């Protein structure tokens, strides 16, 4: 891959954050240094960097792509509510890889793991909303006239 100032700046920006940004976020931030850069250029460079193994591409439950500049062995958790991506460091994954290789009678060269679910922040919001629902239902069941929501 031929050297490019824009690609180098993109990689530097991506490695400066742990937020797993989208291409749009990267584009907006790169425009400060390269006002004429196009979103298409950002996407092409992200594709090349991912293909070369310089970055990781992570898809969320909403089929949005996010990127990670840290390619050391780690895993991810994607919240299905807010689409936030968290890094997850786990021990024992080599053992699971070895078990899979043995069961498949295959030579596993690489693997990745992404967990999908509801993050702690969204879960606590769900609990609060559930309590509000329970209160609302009790008020309505008691015959009070507070049943309209608006």
pLDDT in tens, 78-107: 999 998 999 998 888 889 999 999 999 999
* pLDDT at residue 139 in the model: 43
pLDDT at 131: 54
* Nearest one of 8, 44, 10, 2 to 27, comparing CA atoms: 10
pLDDT band at 126 (very low <50, low <70, confident <90, very high): low
pLDDT of residue 133: 52
Residue 147 labelled as part of a binding site: no
Q: What confidence tens digit (pLDDT) does each residue in 19-77 have? A: 999 999 999 999 999 999 999 999 999 999 999 999 999 988 778 899 999 988 889 99
Give the confidence band of 112 by pLDDT, cuts at 50, 70, 90.
confident
Neighbour order of strands in the sheet with 75-79: 85-88, 75-79, 114-117
Task: Determine if residue 140 is labeled as part of a ligand binding site.
Answer: no
How many residues are present in the chain? 150
**Which whole-number Å values give the CA distances from 139 to 21, 119, 126, 149, in the listed order?**
43, 30, 20, 12
- pLDDT band at 125; cut points 50, 70, 90: confident
For residue 2, pLDDT over 90 is answered with: no
Q: Kindly give, in sequence order, each residue whose CB lies less than 8 Å from that of residue 109, ignoring residues fewer than 6 positions away.
A: none
Residue 135 pLDDT: 46
Between 14 and 133, the more confident residue is: 14
Per-residue model confidence (pLDDT) at position 148: 41
Q: Residue 140: its pLDDT value, please?
A: 42
């Amino acid at each position: 891959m031929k050297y490019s100032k824009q690609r180098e700046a993109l990689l530097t920006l991506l490695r400066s954050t742990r937020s797993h940004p989208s291409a749009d976020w990267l584009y907006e931030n790169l425009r400060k240094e390269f006002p004429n850069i196009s979103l298409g250029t950002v996407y092409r460079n992200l594709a090349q960097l991912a293909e070369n193994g310089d970055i990781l591409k992570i898809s969320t439950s909403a089929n949005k792509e996010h990127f990670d500049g840290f390619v050391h062995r780690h895993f991810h958790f994607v919240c299905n509510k807010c689409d936030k991506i968290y890094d997850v460091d786990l021990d024992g994954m080599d053992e699971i890889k070895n078990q899979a290789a043995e069961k498949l009678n295959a030579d596993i060269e690489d693997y990745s793991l992404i967990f999908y679910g509801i993050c702690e922040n969204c879960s606590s919001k769900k609990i609060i909303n559930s309590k509000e629902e329970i209160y609302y239902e009790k008020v309505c069941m008691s015959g009070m006239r507070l049943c309209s929501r608006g």
